[in-house]
Structure 1
Amino acid sequence: MTTIIRLPDAGGELRAYHPRPAPLALSPGAGFRSRTVFSAAHVVADPFADVTPGSPAVLDWDATLAFRRHLWSHGLGVAEAMDTAQRGMGLDWAGAAELIRRSAAEARAVGGRIVCGVGSDQLISTEAGYPYGIDQIRAAYEEQLAVVEEAGAQAVVMASRALAAVARGPEDYLEIYGQLLRQAREPVVLHWLGPMFDPALEGYWGSTDLDVATRTFLDVIEAHPDKVDGIKVSLLDAQREIDLRRALPDGVRCYTGDDFHYPELIAGDDQGFSHALLGIFDPLGPLAAQAVRVLDTGDVIGFRELLDPTVELSRHLFQAPTRFYKTGVVFLAWLAGHQSHFAMVGGQQSARSLPHLARAYELADGLGLFPDPELARRRMTDLLAVHGVAQ
């Protein structure tokens, strides 16, 4: 086995890296007692599909569902058809609906917990924008909610690009969400996805002033507390999440979606804590699960000792432009042996540079995330060779 690998840095220079000889010992296990934890899961593209940019996604269903079984085996819940699954970045509503049906059936078969994204992405923008009215957006949401409920899954009501584009102000958000919540059979999770994840969502909840937007968000929840299981906050602003968490009605949970500050938010303080619904828990799944089991014993320090070192990798994967974090997530799944290739829906494997991917490999390997470090090293070497980097 070669003991070093030459990796390119951001300045175009090659440097020697000594891969870790053995992985971190991480075993499957049951669910958690102290926190509810979901991993937003990526999808595996079919590498042999004859597709072009903009054409419908074709998935490798066996590999996609096998990865979900991997997450469930470690006690994690799966958040399906969310932005990590490339909703709005290669996966259209038809593909997402099939993904929801198949994953929900798989969850029932193995006893796994699942929540699924509900949006309005069957409404496609044109050069002139979104030619839809509020009633059409509501109907799109209702169609997707019906698919999720018929599949037997819990709904995560996602932010709508169409609503962000056509809403006249907070009143339209109150109307749409109010009607949807009244129709929901079971309590849902409301998702506030910030513009760093999707620029089309700038000004969501009717204002670019986050204090005003937060007030509208809380108004929706306070009007229907019995229909809101919780909120997922993806703003990458720890203090704002803490303030929002403390303002929630009793019984409404906060699921952190903050891939920069998740250890401290999950650990919490003397006034509460956040549960988790995170894209970074796709590559971190087994390690995150072990950390939460430590937290279940009341050992906050031990939890932080396991999870804090992962933040550097997460901040690297989610660096601006944040929406392209999926490339790093899928890349690490390939290196870890969860899929046979590094191809993505919509050709998104090209969205990050070689130095970015090299650093992701180095950080993940240093954490011991790869079950077979030698396989990861060989695959990293193969990718480098394609880019003209000889070892």
Structure 2
Amino acid sequence: MTLDISIIPSANPKSDEQVAEILANPGFGTYFTDHMFTVEWTPEKGWHDARITAYGPLTLDPATAVLHYAQETFEGMKAYRHDDGSVWTFRPFENAERMKRSSHRLALPVLEPEDFVQAVEALVEVDQRWIAEAGSEKSLYIRPFMIATEAFLGVRPSQHVTFMVIASPAGAYFKGGIKPLTLWLTEEYTRAGRGGMGAAKTGGNYASSLVAQQEAIAQGCDQVVFLDVAEGKYVEELGGMNMYFVYADGHVVTPETGTILEGITRSAIIELTEKAGHKVEERKISIDEWREGVASGEITEVFACGTAAVVTPVGTLKWKGGEVQGSTETGPLTAQIRQSLVDLQYGRAADEFGWMHRVI
């Protein structure tokens, strides 16, 4: 750990009563902890002035580069309270390595994984009272992000960059609880092509998905499905989740990476599924294979995954002029994988993979 972090406690933290009230029903991404972490970078000084201060608004010059050229990356991860009161994160070095890859793609400086994890842990330790007690599936959602903060309108990599970490107590991602999603297939919009930013966790990818998500909601659906840009026939991912398809013979298929986000939960599920005795293929899967497979019964379960949503079953797929109805309940393998994952994250099962990282 190389960051020299100063800590300036908030002068106006939430009371214990206020925190308890929030933790009773935190929602997702609505409330934020008392503090935030910040460190800055310039070519001359490298990463410097690491600090934890009171959570609050940022002051940015109107010419700040990120506002004009979207040079930014971010991560999403969680901290979990175990029965003994300890606090753990899930595969934090994987998040750190992915941010390195994203930063390279966005021409941002690299924050070394050890420093990334140190920053996350420092904030979690300071704001640990915001993590709900064990016994539920509540957690502390952690959002590290890096933005170009030079005030300059030229089109080049920023010469001043700021990395921050904020945190938000989290309940269920979907308000309706765990039930099969209805998905909308967009045939007009795509998310990323070969050589693009699809594998980088950057805001532009999510911004480009929002108009298609609007389309999905207008059609009465929960999420949108994107196809590949080259041929418009292969399933890539949802607006914010990776996908899995379970076949009648027990094998599982997930779309290959390259133009999609290399999900931390996605790769964990591959290992959990293989450990459960199911062969997992990472390959192209066409939208026709999905539709025909569900209709014929060859595909028995479909589910999506991500840090926020964990594992969520998929029921119906809709598109202009048609739909195919999958299961109206959570499938057995979907339920098994989800339970295996959350049991590991909350310390109810042995961590055979070495994924959990103790913070407190």
Name the structure with the higher helix share: 1
The reply to whether TM is greater than 0.5 is no
> Which bracket does the TM-score occupy, shorter chain normalised?
under 0.3
Q: TM-score, normalised to structure 2's length?
A: 0.25
Q: TM-score, normalised to structure 1's length?
A: 0.24
Name the structure with the higher strand share: 2
